[in-house]
Amino acid sequence: METKKVLLIVEDDPGLQKQLKWSFDDYQTIIAGDREEAITALRRFMPSVVTLDLGLPPDPTNASEGLATLKQILQLAPETKVIVVTGNDERDNAIKAVAMGAYDFYQKPVDLDVLNLIIDRAFQLEQLQKENLILNKNIEEPLKGIIATSEKMQELSKMIEKIAPTDATTLLLGESGTGKEVLAKAIHNLSYRSKKPFIAVNCAAIPDNLLESELFGYEKGAFTGATKQTKGKIEYAEGGTFFLDEIGDLPFSLQAKLLRFIQERKIERLGGRQEIPVDVRIICATHQNIQKQIDEGEFREDLYYRINEISVDIPPLRERDDDAIVIATALLKRFSDENNKNIKGFSQQAAQLIENYPWPGNIRQLENKIKRAVIMADDSILTHEDLDLNLDDKSTEEEIPLNLKKVREVAETAAIKRALAYSNNHVSNAAKLLGVTRPTLYSLFSKYGIEV
């Protein structure tokens, strides 16, 4: 028999205490009548969700005691979802409570069906955050810097682990902002060359007339201003990995020289005659359609085959299921630490917006938005307004079903699929990640039509 989820109800009205306890018998319901009892219960039972009446003794007409209780709860258990309950004329205090870090608020008189829905969604969000943290901790270890829970990125991570120990020339394909350089570094870090340099050059960022000398170096007197012999970036990568980003922008005039280097692993500096052997692993990347460039005579076909011994297609963020909110959570912590901010998480609307926004700029855009939001935020919870995204809030809410049965189905199905993806479809390991028994997991497979 599975343990019931713990719900703490902080309410000083004895009649309402009984009504709420009776109404929420699906949970292990703990009742507290004042701040002291609430904090004692919090320490003892560690509830995931708390309903908190702001009108607490000694003066129920003043919200100060309730707000002080909220502050103490969030200090002791920052991940707890607190739903504040207020009177009809206390909307300002409710908004203040949400700004302090409360998950949501509800105004009296209590409609038990509505409050039950709010509580249930709070438990679901808390459970999803726990699952994401578990997956995040396990996934970051093999591929440092890559956060991935979606099935597509799990498969890609396994592919990277197989590619890394080899010296195969690799071509990373994906839209701008999908993290091509991060993946290139992951390949380098997992290879036997990890102790040697990782040198990156972006072909699109360097003028055509300077790119050759940047790559291959030059001899003294090779051109006006060449006052000394200078090594190129390829030579500086000796023994390590040379990453040529946006190779689709490489000038056609340089492609033949790069092809010769890849074939022979030797270079000639600009203005020089000596062949210099260089031992490097080569990784290339582009957001361009190389095949189209070949058809239009802009890219050498023989060079394409040399750089494409193994190709890796990186999916855009919009196709990576639940990765956006997991990445956003990691970025939030990082930027909060860097900027000495105490930001605990996202509001429900903000989390929905992150999950449903198409992210045309991919991870780079997400990173910029979270960094800006952290810097500009005044409260401990980031809201959808802080994210500064042009998407109608109504459209994000419509993505989340309001029918309680449907909400559970969507959340449980997503969690099961993520657990299976991470555990390589090993049912026992997936059950452990989800915190259920194998028979329970098999029952859920049947219930939701999931095939393993």
Type of residue found at 258: L
Looking at residue 423, its pLDDT comes to 66
Query: Residue 166 — φ and ψ, nearest 5°?
Result: -95, 175
List the chain domain ranges.
6-122, 151-314, 318-398, 404-448
Is-contact 366 328, C-beta < 8 A? yes
Determine the pLDDT at residue 400. Answer: 46
Of the options 3.10.20.740, 1.10.8.60, 1.20.210.10, 3.30.365.10, the CATH number for the domain spanning 318-398:
1.10.8.60
Alpha carbon 26 to chain centroid, angstroms:
32
Please name the helix (run of DSSP H) or strand (run of DSSP E) that holds residue 64, with its range, or none. helix 64-76
Q: Tell me, what's the pLDDT at 311?
A: 94
Q: Which CATH class is domain 151-314?
A: alpha beta
pLDDT at residue number 51? 94
pLDDT value at residue 385: 86
CATH topology classification for 6-122 = Rossmann fold (3.40.50)
- Calpha distance 401→420 (Å, rounded): 24
Q: How many CA atoms lie within 13 A of 188 on its CB side?
A: 25
Burial class for 54, CB neighbours closer than 10 Å (0-12, 13-18, 19+)? buried
Tell me, letter by letter, the H, E, C secondary structure of 418-433. Answer: HHHHHCCCCHHHHHHH
pLDDT of residue 410: 74
Q: Do domains 6-122 and 318-398 have the same CATH topology?
A: no
Residue with tokens 């903000």: 350
pLDDT per residue rounded down to tens, the chain (452 residues): 456 889 999 999 888 888 888 888 888 999 999 999 999 888 888 899 999 998 888 887 888 888 999 999 988 888 899 999 887 677 788 888 888 889 988 888 888 888 888 999 888 888 887 776 655 544 444 466 677 777 888 889 889 999 999 999 999 999 999 999 999 999 999 999 999 999 999 999 999 888 999 999 998 888 888 888 899 999 999 999 999 999 999 999 999 999 999 999 999 998 888 899 999 999 999 999 999 999 999 999 999 999 999 999 999 999 887 788 888 888 998 999 999 988 888 887 788 788 888 999 999 999 999 999 999 988 888 888 889 887 544 334 444 444 555 667 777 887 887 777 666 678 888 888 788 888 788 888 877 778 76
- Residue 69: CB partners within 8 Å, gap ≥ 6? 10, 35, 38, 39, 52, 56
Helices and strands in the chain, H and E counts: 20, 16
Burial class (CB within 10 angstroms; exposed 0-12, middle 13-18, buried 19+) of 209: exposed
pLDDT the model gives residue 141:
42
